[in-house]
Chain A
Amino acid sequence: MPWRRLAITIFVIAPVLALLAYGFRRDSRYIVSPLIAKPATPFTVTLFDGRKLTLDDLRGKAIFINFWASWCLPCREEARDLEAAWQKVKDKNMVFLGVALQDTDKNSSEFLKEFNVSYPNGKDESGKIGVDYGTWGIPESFFIDPQGRITYKHVGGIRAALVIAKLEEAAKGIVSAQEGKGDYSAVR
């Protein structure tokens, strides 16, 4: 029964090869972040206007945190959308916070001025906040519910409508199992 033996051999080898091909094709960075549904790591950031802001100060509100840099093209593409979304929700129990990564104060300030960003923005001096949130491609956005739990993560540019929708979900404590994806720049 040589043909039967051959069929069995193929039956055994094919799944191994398929698994191997799948593994090589898959970008491990898109494996769902372990941060989803976990409490957001607290941090304190110095804002560009000199004030200090602590995440714990915002407890009780739905929070949108956006990691960005002035050199990142997708960050520039989404900047106006984020400001538009902020204008729509600023009177609700929601808050926006921008965190600049791997950027100079001058360039960051020019960026904020250029896009008329009015929500609070600060700088991650040592890169620790970025690591605490597992960032690798910016813009990267996190949504946190009033209890301080991360409900959604989006790697890459995001649109105003999605920001508002996910913030509303966060306000209700709804956790998204899937991460969002868009165009991104790898952090340096």
Chain B
Amino acid sequence: MKTMSPSTLFAIFALLVLFVHPLHAATAPDLDDQTRAVATELRCVVCQNLSVADSPSEMAQQMRAIVREQLQAGKSPDEIKAFFVSKYGEWVLLKPKTTGFSALLWILPYVVLVLGVSAALWFVRRWVARKKNAEQSAAPAPVSQQIRAELLRKNVEEPDLEDASAKAQLLRERARLRNELIDLDFDFQSGKLSESDYTGLKQEIETKAGTVIQQLGSLPPEPAAKPAPAGKSRARDVKVNANPSQFRRWQIIAGGTFLMLFGLALGVMLTKSVRPRESENDTMTGDFLTGTNSSSVEVRAALNEGKQAFGNQDFPKAIEAFKKVLAADPNNPEAHSYMGFILVQAGHGDGALMAFDKALSQAPNFPMALWGKGMVLYQDKKDFAGARQILERLLNMLPAGEQRNEIVKVLAEIPTTGGNSTQSAATEKTQTAAAPSSAQISGKITIDAKLKANVDPNAALFIIARPGGGAGGPPLAVKKIDKPVFPLTYSLSQENVMMQGTPFTGKINLTVRLDKDGNPVTRTPGDMTGEYKKNPAEVGTKNVDVVIDQVMQ
């Protein structure tokens, strides 16, 4: 291949540089323009790839003021940029320096481009040359070469030494000439023969061979001429020839797929990296490559939708939205907290506490979850000491303002003595556990034979008792059993009531739900349900058996 001369490479490089860096008119801009010009080249340190000139943040305003002040003091744009670099490092420059190590960033793309274009040209030339060669090899070769190729061809019919037919004699003669030619080649290559002797002897053999091959070709075809080996050989030839083209096709497909995915990935990364930062925990690339799903557009949209629905008290819609958030980001503390508040609204104190604890396990100082947990402990569980501890922790974190005042007010309201401490709650549980069996309801839960195959082994079972007279409304008592094994014997008693102090007596409607996601609030297609066929049942009844026979769509 003909290589590109250094002068040509230089010309391409110079052209590219000029193309990318057009010369600017040398006018004298005023101070505002100068400030903006410098600020455009500085990165806003609290933004997501925004320049100091474009960012509305207070920090960027302060940085712009410093730029202006330094320009007024007679510093050059380069000196000002150097000042910011000395404070923040080179990442503060939106355009890295063109000297030192950073110069690589400017030069490398052009080098890669030139190399890429050269490589592409080389490949095209090689491809063209190959095609030409292929065409040439397809053209008829000189007669002597054809004879030589035919003579040295492998997979030819072997001569039968005992056969006296004309064909067999010709085949034997061909084999002899073949061996003679091979020996001659060997002698010539090993230097035993001069070139003129070799040429003369070779021509002699080729002439004889030409006659033999011609005579063989003029023989009438034999009906059973062993077509299999020839066919096999042709098939093998075809296979050998087909392999490279198949491989080339595969290469083109793989290369194309790679380029498409690479372009797609680059596009996604670039669009995600040029946007305002969502929070201090947000990353430069958003959710891409970092695994922080919470910042993905879909999750944010669902979260906002949920918050809006929550604000409008449209709880079913809010639940759906938060469920979507939790499906994408199971540890999202904000969604867990909102779920907690929805459970509080529905009177599910225990469920709410679980949701707030889940949020706090991910973000131990998440204010919303602390507030929710503190209030549930105070108002629902009457655990005054626990509530005080949580709310004081929140108070310690919040800056002065309305929220803080509200917490101070609540803390003042919480009695310093009395209430159910964790200790007293435990005692109460022990007492209720020892309550007479008349204050409980018990029975067996089984799965309908048709549904047995559909049971999710990780599902949770909720046994729900609602006050008799209706299937709706908040439950009176709920029991959750993780990964239940059926048939299952259960009992529901005073210790399972949702609101402390509510007596577990009278008639109740008993339903059960085998919940796939274990969340008492959400309803997922595939959740299985069942109810006591003789609802309502009187508390104190035994053998309140339930068969799970429905699947939610």
Task: Enumerate chain A interface residues (CB-CB to B < 8 A).
Answer: 2, 6, 13, 17, 21, 24-29, 31-35, 70-71, 73, 76-77, 102, 107, 110-111, 126-128, 130-134, 136-137, 184-188
Contact = CB atoms under 8 A, between A and B. Distances in A.
B91 A2 contact: no
B62 A131 contact: yes
A179 to B, nearest CB: 11
9 contacts: A2-B251, A24-B269, A24-B285, A27-B284, A111-B399, A127-B65, A130-B59, A184-B280, A187-B57
Contacts of B88: 33-34, 134, 136
B70 to A, nearest CB: 11
B511 to A, nearest CB: 43
B273 interface: yes
A25 B285 contact: yes
B87 A34 contact: yes
Given A34-B87, A102-B58, A76 B273 contact: no
A26 B88 CA distance: 16
A187 B284 contact: no
Nearest to A26: B284
A130 B65 CA distance: 13
Interface string B300-336: 0000000000000000000000000000000000000
Interface in B17-63: 45-46, 57-59, 62-63
A17 B65 CA distance: 40
B507 interface: no
B289 interface: yes
Contact of A127 (B59, B258, B277): B59
B244 interface: yes
Contact of B58 (A31, A33, A73, A187): A187
A34 B85 CA distance: 8
Contacts of A136: 45-46, 59, 88
Nearest to B247: A2
A28 B57 CA distance: 19
Interface of B: 45-46, 57-59, 62-63, 65-66, 84-89, 91, 244, 247, 251, 258, 262, 269, 273, 277, 279-280, 283-285, 288-290, 365, 367, 396-400
A79 to B, nearest CB: 9
B87 A186 contact: no
A133 B45 CA distance: 13
Specify which of A27, A73, A77, A131 lies most central, judged by the most chain B CB atoms within 10 Å of its CB: A131
Given A28-B91, A130-B59, A130-B62, 12 more contacts: A2-B247, A6-B251, A24-B269, A33-B89, A71-B399, A73-B398, A76-B397, A77-B397, A126-B65, A127-B63, A127-B65, A184-B280
A127 to B, nearest CB: 3
Contacts of A126: 62, 65
Contact of A29 (B45, B66, B244, B273): B45
A7 to B, nearest CB: 13
Nearest to A17: B262
Nearest to B61: A127
B289 A110 contact: no
Contacts of A187: 45-46, 57-59
Contact of A188 (B57, B65, B66): B57
Contact of A131 (B87, B284, B288, B367): B87
Given A21-B289, A24-B285, A188-B58, A70 B87 contact: no
Specify which of B63, B244, B365, B399 lies most central, judged by the most chain A CB atoms within 10 Å of its CB: B399
B109 to A, nearest CB: 12
Nearest to A136: B45
Nearest to B273: A24
Contacts of B397: 73, 76-77
Contacts of B84: 131
Given A77-B365, A187-B59, A34 B89 contact: yes
Nearest to B255: A9
The 8 closest A-B pairs by CB, nearest first: A127-B62, A28-B91, A186-B280, A136-B45, A134-B87, A188-B58, A134-B88, A186-B46
Contacts of A33: 88-89
A27 B49 CA distance: 11
Contact of A24 (B59, B89, B284): B284
Contacts of A185: 280
A136 B87 CA distance: 11
Contacts of A133: 87
Contacts of A184: 280
A186 B58 contact: no
Contacts of B283: 27
Contacts of B279: 186
Contacts of B244: 2
A185 B88 CA distance: 17
A35 B46 contact: no
